[in-house]
Amino acid sequence: MKILLLLTLTLLLSETKSYFGTVIGVADGDTIIVLIDPDKQIKVRLEGIDCPELSQAFAEDAKLATVALCFKKRVRVDKTGIDKYGRTLAFVYVNDICINKELLKEGMAWHYKEFNNDPELAKLEEDAKAKKIGLWEQTSPIPPWDYRHQ
């Protein structure tokens, strides 16, 4: 039993928290595919944000914004966890630019407050909303989490 516990603890402690790779796919505004070595791809869900669902207004805009920010670019993936679908939750960087934050600044995402309480992300959403940019141009944008429950 002690050996199993020690092995489990070792695996948890040695798990990589940051990855480097190239974005080879963009599923939607907040989900990308990163090639981290020739044989390994990871599906990454951007931490702390939620972009419009594919059938919502601004979904294509959000996806194109993500493509422009990171597709075919070398990225650093700072893992924060795993979601219920097995995707890596992470903040993703191209050089020093955080993709998650850029999408909020551009009004292409909501701060996903149910799962993230970062005040900087909340402020970025508030600023985009005040400027009425991106999805905030709409009079009553429906958050994706509400849209999914309809």
CA–CA separation, 128 and 66 (whole Å): 17
State the pLDDT at residue 16. Answer: 62
Given this model, what pLDDT does residue 15 score? 60
Sign of the alpha-carbon torsion through 79, 80, 82, 88: negative
From residue 5, alpha-carbon distances to 1, 9, 13, 42, 82 in Å are 6, 6, 12, 27, 21
Q: Which residues are catalytic?
A: 45, 53, 87
How confident is the model at residue 2, as a pLDDT? 53
Torsion of CA 95, 96, 101, 106, to 10 degrees: -70
Q: Which CATH code for domain 16-148?
A: 2.40.50.90
- At 141 the pLDDT is 96
Query: How far apart, in whole angstroms, are the C-alpha atoms of residue 118 and residue 39?
Result: 34
Residue count of the chain: 150
Q: According to the model, what pLDDT value does residue 6 have?
A: 40
CA 31 to CA 7: how far, in whole Å?
32
d(CA 44, CA 135): 23
Residues of the chain with pLDDT under 70: 1-16
Residue ranges of the domains in the chain?
16-148
Residue 1's pLDDT is what? 52
